[in-house]
A and B are shown apart, each in its own frame.
Chain A
């Protein structure tokens, strides 16, 4: 009997080892199948596309920094900074450049998220009137992503559906830039049709964002009539879209005020918190003065610093100059001039630094002002005015109406002073130059200048000895208006070859 009891015990213990089918039933992670049921699910998927934009890989640093450095407005400050950055400033970009390989994937993650939202919307069984305004956000995001890619790389792999077949998707060829532009325009047209006139925040694209981007896309491709008409559509309906110029230019770069401004049209809304590099911007650190105490950020890294000429050639009477620059720093509690910044840190540089991203960043998550609350304006009303002015000038000789578009931007810049005065009576060529110059200053350090140089093919003009950064001997107009496609991606799918000319 006793033995019997023990055997029960043994059996009882061993039975603990029950059989399992070994199927994984993940908890806390999502499977794609059957996810899309309601319009809210489309919104959830679309949100990711905008989330990716705020990653360090994209606007946080990797994509945004080369856009600055390639222009004639921003140069390398600290010469010991990473080579992959210097390569863009020097037009010496190898096909394995670390900045490009750093963001290439991220842009396609944006696109994949948008594609998934767009494809998923088809599974959601509600009327177009209900779901399309949400899906339109994804169309906008996809256009936004491809617009950056096509301007940088020209012909690119174009994906517009969720990846299901690795073999097929892995062997596609490049889509021509012209076709990519067509697709971008189609996406933006969808967005224009369905997005509401206004959204609760400018970080969510509204109809005005879609139309403004249509204007910029047409401007980029040289389709000036459409650029003009789209831009004018925004301007004429500024009331409907709740848009206006911000009275004080400084407020546009004050993280505590941009949320309430009517000028931004589409922004990337950093919120002073991040999850590692997810949602973290680095502009305050990259553009800030090393060891500078004035904004309590713990100083910057003096990586992206305009050449002295940018500062010296900018008229001191222009209010925007003082908004855009810091010519002094604070060290050991003393205000010091830029000419001796290096005395306080050997990796600093004796030049005025960009102030747009350091002066008022709000809360920040990490030292040096990283993970700030800055709202980066991808598109603001002043740019729409300048697009209309530039495009209008190309269609006809500048008349009073066209001049007025430009002069509205100049008027706001005066901030109570008399400078800059209105421009009148310029011929078409002079007006073209004036608009581009206005864009250079109005949108200084806002990541726009390189695209202007590239679309207007200004390289030989601005990168010579008389240019703001002096001669850039490596600049080759037959090569450098496009970036190299990342060589590793070409190796993964040889059908994407060849690389862009010159690389």
Chain B
């Protein structure tokens, strides 16, 4: 949507191309101003008509261009203004006043295999521009989407961990077992890695089937189209961007000190003897972190060639000691107009990321799952112990499971992930005849990732003591080859405009992996770089998988009289990983749009500058089948016989020739409304997505068959998502010196399981392994995805008769937890007295951005929030169960003399999941507040600088929430971690995730 003044200002940070004559025939200069306010407009595109020579205005609206002849016509165009053409003649100064375009929604948005004018789009598409992506520094461009686009949920896989993957979810959760992440397409490369935020020109989020069905079997989670920056003809521009931020944790827990801790544990175990120290583990492990981002770029173009190249260095020191992330990345886009008809280009991207982390999220297999998790260990570990005991050995916890102290784990363990990414995409584009264009691309990408871990012998329980240290190394390399070829035909047929697209695509993905490891090293100094010296070698593994997709696709766009819009798409995907009887699938969609405001009867309705109605329906798929998953297979197990592991085969899985993709049937209705010359623009979308043929493990297959994969996959489930999305953009004030714009988005998604296998509940577990709990979430027909499962807490038992309808777990006494006794048998029995106790799905989520500009100052205030949605405070389940440290809330435990409390007596008990720990996860967060200043050009021009901007900002400074834990944005997914198949359906748990951070950032933008 249009926000011209905000754009004007923010663009200054990134683009300012002053013009310098390239061909010294006739130099024309001038200033482009806003027709109403009179202010200069930066970044106006100026092109000599019929040639590829062009330039753009500078920050103040000034430009300079060299023309070849007096008959040249200059074309001035800028988003939100009517394009003007002026014949140069003999003039050397051409000043232009651009008039605002009432129907100025004609922003170009990228769609699959092409682009459309925004006003002609019939699907549900959100655009996020460079300036929004870079309003504050982020590690990953996906992070910058949070709160920016309606219907798009963005969450870090692991709080503020340096280098943590960022998950995007569009319009809810359409799968159980397959990824719910959207397809990422970068400059036409399907399934690419996200480039650096500074290199991104725009991101388009395709949400409804009309927009995504062109991506067929990969479209059902939505599609994110990323367009990187390109060079422009004109002066060579060199740019340097710097961001530096200091960070700390948004919150800490109020834990017991050594004396409080000892007295609490003496209440549980009178024999407990207090340790010698008083350690604040949070102080010891948390630090002030920092991020630094340096980006250098140059761009420009001559008559036939334009180029953009950048190098970025990012470094983050996390807020937990010894957790770091470093990345170097390069991007280069080169386009050459070889002849009038032929254009060639090459996009290159390369990066190296190096994450040197600490274990978090309790996903480790050591110490019964989670014993080396820094974050939860910080809370669990006894404060009356120091880092080392009197003998110089690392301490292990004096209560509960034996775990190493978190300081030792953080400082002595090694967890390194190195990722190399490379991507190249070559294209050729040829205008065959007027209106008919052929484009072919040929691309390759590879992602090479190595994970190394090391635990020295000094760590007692994390595979240390007795095993003499443990080191592992794992590598996976994924490669993609892609070729896409398509014809685009444009024609004007009377009042109608027709665009046809037809194409063919082939893509091959393959992944090879290996892992190995060793134990019992002669020295702790090898890290994971001398596996051969380990006396015990772990079992090495390796594997290879490949899949191919070949597709035909097509699209018709027909616009009649700029009033009636019709779009239809179809894609036929054939995929090798589809089962033998279901190799091919067809995904169609159709959409209608009606630009009501262009009708005659609307001409007199002055207040309404734009009104468009949209409707679409289509089918998309989800490639939830892994390679070889439908084939009969033999598997093998670890078989130690006669002192060594031996080769073996065991029935692995039975063939399933009918397994097919998951299909989403999506309906979308939308309305776009612009009022008062589009000073107010509003979009509202309603959608309904029925996802059928969900691939689920067929738990109805008897286990006595004895296959290694006991539950073969079947297409059985159905889930429904429906919701509303509202986007409202207003230009509240806009004049030469001051502007104020507001962008607001709001979305609400409802989901529900319609069908599960035989209508049976599916239980899932997202608790750490050492909790010894089997069920924490349930999938149930008629319920939302991933609701919580547990006991309903009824307060503390005061002794005497049990209050009606409540009971205790066996062996409990006064002061213990009362739960609802569902089967009314007088005692609480696992499996019989548990019920749904919470729903992590928010009622709605929203984002509000206000942009202000006063002269050379600008400011951005961005709030983001969710309402509704429960959080399970699993941290408290741990901290109140008597085998660890606790928060000071425990001081109010029930005792015979302190009975008026909700906190049970100090006792050792099982880690029972109950409604006691379910809290509202609603929050409103000041995500960003920033102030920027552009040094006036008349000062810096003297030094040859085109633009110099300074900015100060703060992220996550304020959070309004009733949540009692550290942070309501939680990201714990159980022992499998955030990448496990179940991560879709086990949301809302708070435990051991890396802390969310608060940052203060300074930024510098320098352009020559």
**Residue positions of A touching B, CB distance < 8 A:** 2-3, 6-7, 9-10, 13-14, 16-20, 22-24, 26-33, 35, 44-52, 54-55, 79-84, 90, 94, 96, 98, 104-105, 108-113, 115-116, 157, 159, 162-163, 166, 169-170, 200-201, 203-204, 259, 269-276, 278-279, 285, 290-291, 295-299, 301, 332-333, 340, 342-347, 363-369, 486, 488-489, 491-493
Q: How far is the CB of B32 from chain A (nearest CB, A)?
A: 37
Whether B90 is near chain A, meaning CB under 8 Å from some CB there, is no
The 8 A-B residue pairs with the shortest CB-CB distance, nearest first, are: A51-B639, A112-B706, A82-B772, A278-B638, A201-B642, A48-B650, A47-B648, A17-B506
Best-buried of A83, A169, A297, A369 by chain B (most CB within 10 Å): A83
A275 close to B632 (CB less than 8 A):
no
> Chain B 891-911 against A: per-residue CB contact (8 Å), 1 yes, 0 no?
000000000000000001111
Partner of A3, one of B273, B339, B704: B339
Q: How far is the CB of B431 from chain A (nearest CB, A)?
A: 11
Whether B921 is near chain A, meaning CB under 8 Å from some CB there, is no
Whether B474 is near chain A, meaning CB under 8 Å from some CB there, is no
Q: How far is the CA of A364 from the CA of B464 in the complex (A)?
A: 10
**Residue of chain B at shortest CB distance from A116:** B651
CB within 8 Å of A: which B973-988 residues: none
With A105-B703, A113-B706 known as contacts, the answer to whether A48 contacts B265 (CB < 8 A) is no
Partner of A51, one of B485, B577, B638, B773: B638
B703 close to A10 (CB less than 8 A):
no
A48 close to B339 (CB less than 8 A):
no
Whether B539 is near chain A, meaning CB under 8 Å from some CB there, is yes
With A3-B339, A33-B632, A492-B702 known as contacts, the answer to whether A346 contacts B645 (CB < 8 A) is no
Whether B499 is near chain A, meaning CB under 8 Å from some CB there, is no
**Residue of chain A at shortest CB distance from B484:** A17
- How many residue pairs, one in A and one in B, have C-beta atoms under 8 Å apart? 341
Q: How far is the CB of A72 from chain B (nearest CB, A)?
A: 20
Q: How far is the CA of A402 from the CA of B14 in the complex (A)?
A: 97
Q: How far is the CB of B243 from chain A (nearest CB, A)?
A: 39
A492 close to B700 (CB less than 8 A):
yes
Q: How far is the CA of A7 from the CA of B539 in the complex (A)?
A: 53
A301 close to B401 (CB less than 8 A):
yes
With A13-B440, A80-B881 known as contacts, the answer to whether A52 contacts B268 (CB < 8 A) is no
With A24-B576, A201-B642, A273-B536 known as contacts, the answer to whether A345 contacts B703 (CB < 8 A) is no
Q: How far is the CB of A1 from chain B (nearest CB, A)?
A: 12
Whether B603 is near chain A, meaning CB under 8 Å from some CB there, is no
Whether B529 is near chain A, meaning CB under 8 Å from some CB there, is no
**Count of residues in B whose CB is under 8 Å from the partner chain:** 118
Q: How far is the CA of A204 from the CA of B646 in the complex (A)?
A: 12
With A6-B430, A333-B391, A367-B465 known as contacts, the answer to whether A52 contacts B650 (CB < 8 A) is yes
In the complex, 27 of the A-B residue pairs with CB atoms within 8 angstroms, ordered by the A residue number, are: A6-B339, A6-B428, A7-B430, A19-B550, A22-B583, A44-B647, A51-B638, A80-B911, A82-B772, A104-B704, A108-B704, A108-B706, A112-B651, A170-B702, A204-B642, A269-B642, A273-B519, A275-B645, A276-B365, A279-B645, A285-B368, A291-B396, A346-B268, A347-B908, A366-B366, A366-B463, A367-B402
Q: How far is the CB of B5 from chain A (nearest CB, A)?
A: 44
Q: How far is the CA of A250 from the CA of B348 in the complex (A)?
A: 68
**For A79, what are the chain B residues with a Cβ–Cβ distance below 8 Å?**
811, 908
A345 close to B366 (CB less than 8 A):
no
> Chain B 646-658 against A: per-residue CB contact (8 Å), 1 yes, 0 no?
1111111010000
Q: Give the interface segment out of B295-303, B540-548, B665-673, B866-874.
A: B540-548
**For A113, what are the chain B residues with a Cβ–Cβ distance below 8 Å?**
648-651, 706
Whether B963 is near chain A, meaning CB under 8 Å from some CB there, is no
CB within 8 Å of A: which B459-476 residues: 460-467
Q: How far is the CB of A358 from chain B (nearest CB, A)?
A: 11
**Residue of chain B at shortest CB distance from A274:** B638
Other A-B pairs, 15, CB within 8 Å; known A3-B342, A342-B271: A28-B543, A30-B649, A44-B647, A48-B636, A51-B648, A80-B881, A83-B910, A109-B650, A115-B706, A166-B701, A275-B638, A297-B465, A347-B400, A366-B366, A367-B463
Q: How far is the CB of A487 from chain B (nearest CB, A)?
A: 10
Whether B398 is near chain A, meaning CB under 8 Å from some CB there, is yes
Whether B774 is near chain A, meaning CB under 8 Å from some CB there, is yes
B883 close to A81 (CB less than 8 A):
no
**Residue of chain A at shortest CB distance from B650:** A48
**For B760, what are the chain A residues with a Cβ–Cβ distance below 8 Å?**
491
B704 close to A54 (CB less than 8 A):
no
**For A166, what are the chain B residues with a Cβ–Cβ distance below 8 Å?**
654, 701, 705
Partner of B634, one of A35, A50, A366, A493: A35
Q: How far is the CA of A269 from the CA of B634 in the complex (A)?
A: 24
B389 close to A201 (CB less than 8 A):
no
Q: How far is the CA of A369 from the CA of B402 in the complex (A)?
A: 13
**Residue of chain A at shortest CB distance from B539:** A275
**For A111, what are the chain B residues with a Cβ–Cβ distance below 8 Å?**
704, 706
Q: How far is the CA of A285 from the CA of B583 in the complex (A)?
A: 49
Q: How far is the CB of A114 from chain B (nearest CB, A)?
A: 9
Q: How far is the CA of A46 from the CA of B646 in the complex (A)?
A: 11
With A50-B639, A108-B705, A109-B707 known as contacts, the answer to whether A365 contacts B910 (CB < 8 A) is no
With A13-B483, A94-B829 known as contacts, the answer to whether A343 contacts B271 (CB < 8 A) is yes
**For A96, what are the chain B residues with a Cβ–Cβ distance below 8 Å?**
831
With A24-B576, A54-B640 known as contacts, the answer to whether A273 contacts B645 (CB < 8 A) is yes
Q: How far is the CA of A162 from the CA of B550 in the complex (A)?
A: 36
B642 close to A346 (CB less than 8 A):
no
**Residue positions of B touching A, CB distance < 8 A:** 265, 268-269, 271-273, 338-339, 341-342, 365-368, 371, 389, 391, 396, 398-402, 426, 428, 430, 438, 440-442, 460-467, 481, 483-485, 504-506, 519-520, 535-539, 541-546, 548, 550, 574-578, 583, 627-628, 631-634, 636-652, 654, 699-708, 710, 760, 772-774, 810-811, 829-832, 881-883, 908-911
**Residue of chain B at shortest CB distance from A104:** B703
Partner of A492, one of B467, B542, B701: B701
Q: How far is the CA of A269 from the CA of B641 in the complex (A)?
A: 6
**Residue of chain B at shortest CB distance from A373:** B643
A18 close to B506 (CB less than 8 A):
yes
**For A269, what are the chain B residues with a Cβ–Cβ distance below 8 Å?**
640-643
Q: How far is the CA of A50 from the CA of B637 in the complex (A)?
A: 10
**For B339, what are the chain A residues with a Cβ–Cβ distance below 8 Å?**
2-3, 6
B637 close to A278 (CB less than 8 A):
yes
**For A279, what are the chain B residues with a Cβ–Cβ distance below 8 Å?**
637-640, 645
**For A33, what are the chain B residues with a Cβ–Cβ distance below 8 Å?**
632
Q: How far is the CA of A199 from the CA of B531 in the complex (A)?
A: 34
**Residue of chain B at shortest CB distance from A54:** B640
**For A94, what are the chain B residues with a Cβ–Cβ distance below 8 Å?**
829-832
Q: How far is the CA of A112 from the CA of B881 in the complex (A)?
A: 42
**For B539, what are the chain A residues with a Cβ–Cβ distance below 8 Å?**
273-275
Best-buried of B339, B402, B550, B642 by chain A (most CB within 10 Å): B402
Q: How far is the CA of A79 from the CA of B810 in the complex (A)?
A: 11
A159 close to B632 (CB less than 8 A):
no
**For B810, what are the chain A residues with a Cβ–Cβ distance below 8 Å?**
90
Q: How far is the CB of A43 from chain B (nearest CB, A)?
A: 9
**For A29, what are the chain B residues with a Cβ–Cβ distance below 8 Å?**
543, 628, 631, 633-634, 652
Q: How far is the CB of B465 from chain A (nearest CB, A)?
A: 5
Partner of B639, one of A28, A54, A298: A54
**Residue of chain B at shortest CB distance from A163:** B705
Partner of B462, one of A23, A105, A367: A367
A170 close to B831 (CB less than 8 A):
no
With A48-B636, A50-B641, A80-B908 known as contacts, the answer to whether A296 contacts B465 (CB < 8 A) is yes
With A98-B774, A343-B271 known as contacts, the answer to whether A489 contacts B703 (CB < 8 A) is yes
Q: How far is the CA of A448 from the CA of B925 in the complex (A)?
A: 61
Q: How far is the CB of A61 from chain B (nearest CB, A)?
A: 11
With A9-B428, A32-B651 known as contacts, the answer to whether A47 contacts B639 (CB < 8 A) is yes
Q: How far is the CA of A409 from the CA of B549 in the complex (A)?
A: 69
**Residue of chain B at shortest CB distance from A275:** B638
A28 close to B544 (CB less than 8 A):
yes
B399 close to A346 (CB less than 8 A):
yes
